[in-house]
Amino acid sequence: MSAGLLLLGVLGVPVSAAAAEVALSPESRASELAKARGVPVTVPESVTESQSVVANPDGSFTAEIHGGPTRFRNGQGDWVDVDLNLYRRPDGSIAPKAHPRGLVLAGKGTGSRDLARFVSKGHEIAVGWEGVLPEPSLSGTKATYADAMPGVDLVVESTRLGFEYFLVVKNRGAASRVAQVRMPWRAEGLAAEHTGEGAVKLRDKSNAVVAWAPAAQMWDARVSPRSGDPLVQAKVGVTVEKPSARRSAVEGATAGASMRVVPDAKFLADPKTVYPVTIDPTVTEYADFDTFTQNSYTSDQSGANLLKLGYVVEGGKAYYARSHLRFNSLSGYAGANVLSATLYLYNIHSFSCRPNYWQVWRTDPVTSAVRWTSPPKRQKFNGESDLTKGYSGCGAGWVTNTVTESFQTAFNSGSSSNSLEIAAKSTASQDSWKKFDSMETANDPYVSLNYNRPPAAPTGLTIGGKACATGASRPTIASTVTPIQLTANVSDPDSAAEAVSLNARFFVAELGSALPATPTVTSPTVTQPKSGGAQTATASLPAGFVLQEFHTYYFQVKGWDQENEGAWSAICEFYVDNGSPAKAPLVTALDTLPGTSTKIYPEDGTGGGPGVSSTFRFTANGETDISKYRYKYSYRGVTTNWVEVPTPTPGASVEVELAPPFDDGDGSDTLASLNMGGQWAITVEMADSANPPRWSTKSKLYLTNVASAPAALAHWKMNEPANYTQLADQTTDFNAIMNTMTKSADGFGDFGTSWTFNGTTSYAAPVNTPIDTTRSFSVAAWVKLTDKSTDRVVAAKLSSGASPSMLIKYHIGNDRWQLLMPNGSDPNASGFSWQGLSSVAVPSLGAWTHLVGTFDGATATSRLYVNGQLEASRSDVVAFNQIGGEFRIGRSNGNSWAGDIDEVAVWQRTLDPREIGALAVAERASWDLDHSLMDTVGKPVSTMPFDLRGFAGEALDIGVPQSDDPLWWGTGHPIMVGQAEAEDGGAALLNWDPAVEVPLSLFADRPVLRTDQSFSVSVWVNPHRIGGDNMYAVGQDGTDVSGLYLGTRDVGGSTYWAFALKDTDLATSTTRFTKSVNPLSSGDIGTWDHLVGTYDAGSGRIKLYVNGVLQGATMRESAPGVRVQPWQAGGVFSVGRGLYGGAQTNHFSGGIDEIRVFQGVLTQDMVGRLYRTSNGEL
């Protein structure tokens, strides 16, 4: 028999976008599916009777390997889990619910019949019974035939690969009936071999052992409380007799073989024997291996249901035991690096609860020939443990010990098996005596094994920027151009689960000489992203390694993952010829992120994004006779052709504008494609002025990583009904249990609902935490604060100490939003720091606000965003994480949120600022006005769309004006389709015909925006007049005035584009507005402009953008620092007019197109996207 083996592995699975064209292995397909669904997925091809592999959502794999079958295919070809519990079949026979070998037991009856039969490897094996069999009673895996013989119970127990039967002699008077028991026997196609130890092995024609009956034992009712073993045991003779003239005892058999069971007569007759006496033969398939050996046993015990170790004294005799296990099917893990390996044993009996050390040793291979007197040789100590179970006060349970060294040795050698010995550290005390379940039981031994694999053989080798080759194709380099760079693409299969730090180890020698034993040079560390492709590692040949001109050299490379060295790369040869030009050009990225000195594309760093351009300068590196440069780049599997750029004068530098393409270079710029990144490798060479020009023998390889990112790990939309007790996570992995929260209809992030937190006991928390705060992460939420009397927590990642590892909150001390990331869990510890960030904006009570906290693990930088804007950052954060620490919404260790929370999401990455800008708004309605009045923004089921209708002196019917009415419709604003200019599909055209006596406008039949909260309005406008009365393109009515005005405004006798808000719903109240930089003129008549007005209710700031450019900003304040309380305009949303003094006025004359309104504050990036979009996609 064999112990089960649970293998927890991290396998290399190419799942990045850059590897999408690679044919996926079964494991890779399952891994992709597991990540997409967020649940473990079985690898179908891996499933066998004893083995299965599961792909986990985190990219790891769990392989479970047992010594015997845990499942089997039924008649329909489906996998069925083994269930040994017995049930009564309709024909009266008895069978396990699901047995891998089709075991069937007899029911009630008379005459000759099969008592038990099963099929092993095509051979039917049966033990029969002659005479009356009573109706058996069933209990779990046992069937008891009471008084099958007078005074003798027959008990048959289902085992994993066969059965065990017991003759229970209940009293001394019945002993004579079992003096010799013949039972009909059938083993089709198998020959019986009797061993010297009393076992019977059944061999097929190839002499392989198919099944066996281990040496049988018998014992009486006396059991030792010390050892847990029967106090007195005796051997039972078991033989298989050849057919005789007697009739076959097994129905349907063609011969009359029998199994003869002969108990020890002296044992039965001994006056000291205490009845009942149990006689225990077993018949089972010959399986894999575990066993115990004991100084009182001389036979093979690999069929026993227990393992033993230690020392015990019974009846004045000392007994010593140890056990052996062999784990098979390990060849698939050859070369893997074992991070940890733990042996699990189910401890069913111990001499006492006092801890006593027991050890694990790696041994020579163990077989069924092992005995106490002939143990396998011990090779290496693995570990020791004093865990003890199985006694009164420390009941049966699992105990563990380390076996890391043993499995590492097996994997290093490529062995298919691994043998272990478990033994007491010392037998000086009976406390060392322990017993464990073996493979035959439900709690079979297993090993939990974590491992990784060494790096793959490096590829893509270059020397001096030139691809490797051998023989006549080998590249030529100049030794005068220093440093001489060597590169190799390194990768590790473990990147399927996490980012891996890798180095390339370069071994260089002259051709014909052996490579050195240690690396000539090792590259700086590169990071292969999680699920990312191979990374290029670069190193410079040391100055002390002198290359002689006209000599040939070669090198090979090994990857190093900080723990393991990988396989050799191919051989790369190179020839040294100091031609000219001798140096590689210099490449410098010039552009930086706005307001910083950080390069958009730092060399060997991460930044930018697809479509984000930067100027690169190519410099001659001191060479004077340079006539031109050429460059090419590789990105996401595509390599461009060389592009040549001449210099204005010999040796001068040149500048080029480059950008990694979107979606393989199709030029799109949408939020959806924002993070489709990868490694960007720019290669540059230069040539002299010779005819023909000679290109430099060494290239400059500029490497930078274009950022990409996964989706949210958890997302709670907060739209559950009031009677729910859990917040539903949209990924389904992190549903959060709610505590004393109440439902609020005042939703904001998705126009659904939210939850109110009472400021004292309310919070929600998933069972498992979704983030690790030592790695890059982001947390976002919509919040509405209703009380500032103390600190108010939005979200926290707790630890075992007083300090959480992450905290987003309102802080009463400075009246600001804060992101805190302490460097430890104990605020009283030396060196403790809260590492806090505070917002610029002062939180406003009752104002919905979007908060995002991010941490970039690569740069140790935390950032705090308020309504999409970066408000604070720091780059010296020392992060910590409590494994298992609870993630809470609305509460930390002491402080709780007071108010509403909506739309909470977490990511295990840093969000791009443009993503944050998109998260900070929610589109409420959109009218493209392409001869249509329809609102095209999707709504919750309970919300009707905000379709428009016409107003011409009175409200027109729904659906009017119709799409073909020339009085209302005209041509749309200009758009770009590819490189060509075109027109949008149409626009509303209002008040252009002076013959129409009543002004025309459009309206939605109810308010669209919450004007008492933050909002943004976007519209294309084309005025047909300038001057005169103000003209308003969009607004939303109050009772007396519009809550907002976006259109033209007269200021000092000139007309400007303006965005205005009234202080109250009275015409006499103050108007707060901001206007365009330049006034409009007659030249603007008939010209389309794009207007965006934003209002931040938290800060009180009003902004106006024209054609994507910020024009002005003003504060909605009655005095410096005194904000005007925003109010809700509860009337209809209007298009092409305003409301003043309760009357419709200020009608717009001209075209109005593409109206889009948002709750929240649009960022500059989002405004630019609205201005540039040709199809509405941002």
Residue 663 belongs to some domain of the structure? yes
Could you say which of 256, 286, 316 is where a domain stops? Answer: 286
CA distances from 515 to 454, 466, 520, 565 (A): 21, 21, 9, 16
b/e string for 716-735 if b means 16 or more Cβ within 10 A?
Answer: bbbbbeeeeeebbbebebbb
Q: Give the number of other CB atoms < 10 A from CB of residue 1053.
A: 7
Residue 358 belongs to some domain of the structure? no
Quickly state the pLDDT bin for 329 (edges 50, 70, 90): confident
Here the tokens at position 496 are 């399927």
Q: How far apart are the first and last CA of the chain?
A: 63
Alpha-carbon gap, residue 899 to 846, rounded angstroms: 8
Quickly state the pLDDT bin for 396 (edges 50, 70, 90): very high
581-609 pLDDT, tens per residue?
778 999 999 877 656 788 878 998 887 76
419-462 pLDDT, tens per residue?
999 999 999 999 999 999 888 776 878 887 766 678 889 999 99
What are residue 91's phi and psi, to 5 degrees? -85, 5
428 with 464: CB under 8 angstroms?
Answer: no
Q: Dmax of the chain from CA atoms?
A: 129
Quickly state the pLDDT bin for 674 (edges 50, 70, 90): low
335-369 pLDDT, tens per residue?
777 777 888 899 999 999 999 999 999 999 998 88
522-563 pLDDT, tens per residue?
999 999 998 788 999 999 999 999 998 779 999 999 999 887
457-483 pLDDT, tens per residue?
999 999 999 999 999 999 988 887 789
Q: Do 58 and 100 sit in the same domain of this protein? A: no
Could you say which of 257, 286, 315 is where a domain stops? Answer: 286
Outline where DSSP puts E strands in 214-253. 216-219, 233-241
- Asked if the model's pLDDT at residue 656 lies above 50, the reply is yes
Helix (H) or strand (E) holding 639: strand 638-639
1170 with 1105: CB under 8 angstroms?
Answer: no
Q: Do 724 and 668 sit in the same domain of this protein? A: no
Residue 992 belongs to some domain of the structure? no
Residue 357 belongs to some domain of the structure? no
Alpha-carbon gap, residue 305 to 290, rounded angstroms: 10
pLDDT given for residue 315 in this prediction: 81
Query: Facing residues of 703 across strands?
Result: 681
1151 with 1006: CB under 8 angstroms?
Answer: no
pLDDT given for residue 67 in this prediction: 63
Highest mean pLDDT pick, 47-56, 850-859, 928-937, 1169-1178: 928-937
Q: Which long-range contacts (CB under 8 A, 24 or more apart) does 193-202 make?
A: 194/239, 194/240, 195/300, 197/298, 197/299, 197/300, 198/235, 198/236, 198/237, 198/238, 198/299, 199/238, 199/299, 199/300, 200/238, 200/239, 200/240, 201/286, 202/123, 202/125, 202/286
Query: Tokens 């693990």 belong to which residue?
Result: 857
pLDDT given for residue 997 in this prediction: 81
Query: Tokens 């498992």 belong to which residue?
Result: 768
Q: Do 117 and 256 sit in the same domain of this protein? A: yes
Pairwise pLDDT comparison (425 vs 751), residue with the higher score: 425
- Asked if the model's pLDDT at residue 266 lies above 90, the reply is yes
Q: Do 566 and 599 sit in the same domain of this protein? A: no
- Measured at the alpha carbon of residue 920, what is the angle toward residues 915 and 925, in degrees to the nearest 5? 110
- Asked if the model's pLDDT at residue 254 lies above 60, the reply is no
367, 379, 296: which is closest to 326 by C-alpha?
Answer: 367
341 with 418: CB under 8 angstroms?
Answer: no
For residue 177, the 8-state DSSP code is G
Amino acid at residue number 825: S
- Asked if the model's pLDDT at residue 639 lies above 90, the reply is no
Outline where DSSP puts E strands in 491-547. 500-510, 521-522, 526-528, 535-540
988 with 1151: CB under 8 angstroms?
Answer: yes
CATH number at residue 518: 2.60.40
In the chain, the number of structural domains is 6
For residue 759, the 8-state DSSP code is S
pLDDT given for residue 28 in this prediction: 59
1056-1080 pLDDT, tens per residue?
999 999 999 999 999 999 999 999 9
Pairwise pLDDT comparison (731 vs 1037), residue with the higher score: 1037
Alpha-carbon gap, residue 589 to 702, rounded angstroms: 10
Here the tokens at position 223 are 């059991």
Compute the mean pLDDT over every residue in the chain, rounded to the nearest whole number: 86
Pairing of strands 1122-1123, 1117-1119: antiparallel
436 with 306: CB under 8 angstroms?
Answer: yes
Alpha-carbon gap, residue 1059 to 1076, rounded angstroms: 9
Residue 373 belongs to some domain of the structure? no
- Measured at the alpha carbon of residue 466, what is the angle toward residues 461 and 468, in degrees to the nearest 5? 40
303 with 160: CB under 8 angstroms?
Answer: no
Pairwise pLDDT comparison (306 vs 636), residue with the higher score: 306
Query: Facing residues of 158 across strands?
Result: 163
Q: Do 62 and 102 sit in the same domain of this protein? A: no
pTM of the model: 0.48
**Gyration radius from the chain CA atoms:** 41
b/e string for 167-197 if b means 16 or more Cβ within 10 A?
Answer: bbbbebebbeebeebebbbbbeebebeeeee
Q: Do 778 and 908 sit in the same domain of this protein? A: yes
30-42 pLDDT, tens per residue?
767 877 888 888 8
Helix (H) or strand (E) holding 1168: helix 1164-1172
Q: Do 680 and 747 sit in the same domain of this protein? A: no
495-525 pLDDT, tens per residue?
665 688 999 999 999 999 999 999 999 999 9
The stretch 195-212 carries a mean pLDDT of 85
CA distances from 772 to 437, 729, 882 (A): 38, 18, 8
Here the tokens at position 520 are 């000539």
Helix (H) or strand (E) holding 37: helix 26-37
- Strands of 1042-1051's sheet in order across: 948-952, 1000-1004, 1133-1135, 1032-1037, 1042-1051, 1054-1062, 1071-1075
Amino acid at residue number 999: P
Burial class, 1060, CB count within 10 angstroms (exposed 0-12 / middle 13-18 / buried 19+):
buried
For residue 873, the 8-state DSSP code is E
Here the tokens at position 233 are 């045991």
pLDDT given for residue 937 in this prediction: 83
Q: Do 1067 and 1152 sit in the same domain of this protein? A: yes
Q: Do 165 and 214 sit in the same domain of this protein? A: yes
The stretch 738-757 carries a mean pLDDT of 89
Query: Facing residues of 743 across strands?
Result: 755
1040: which residues sit within 8 A by CB, 6+ positions away? 1065, 1066, 1067, 1139, 1140, 1141, 1142
Quickly state the pLDDT bin for 65 (edges 50, 70, 90): low
Alpha-carbon gap, residue 1101 to 658, rounded angstroms: 37
775-798 pLDDT, tens per residue?
778 999 999 999 999 999 999 998
Q: SS3 for 770-839, per residue? A: CCCCCCCEEEEEEEEECCCCCCEEEEEECCCCCCCCEEEEEECCCCEEEEECCCCCCCCCCCCCCCEEEC
Percent of the chain whose predicted confidence (pLDDT) is above 70: 91
Domain interval for residue 665: 586-706
pLDDT given for residue 285 in this prediction: 72
Q: Do 594 and 526 sit in the same domain of this protein? A: no
For 710, the 3-state DSSP assignment is coil
Residue 318 belongs to some domain of the structure? no
Could you say which of 894, 919, 944 is where a domain stops? Answer: 919
Amino acid at residue number 438: S
Alpha-carbon gap, residue 484 to 583, rounded angstroms: 10
* Alpha helices, DSSP H, located in 359-496: 404-413
Is the N-terminal amide bond of 483 cis, ω within 30° of 0?
A: yes
789 with 812: CB under 8 angstroms?
Answer: yes
Residue 810 belongs to some domain of the structure? yes
Q: Do 28 and 95 sit in the same domain of this protein? A: no
Alpha-carbon gap, residue 497 to 529, rounded angstroms: 10
Alpha-carbon gap, residue 533 to 457, rounded angstroms: 14
Pairwise pLDDT comparison (201 vs 1), residue with the higher score: 201
- Measured at the alpha carbon of residue 379, what is the angle toward residues 374 and 382, in degrees to the nearest 5? 115
Here the tokens at position 1166 are 């989002």
Q: Do 824 and 718 sit in the same domain of this protein? A: yes
88 with 71: CB under 8 angstroms?
Answer: no
CATH number at residue 768: 2.60.120.200
Residue 431 belongs to some domain of the structure? no
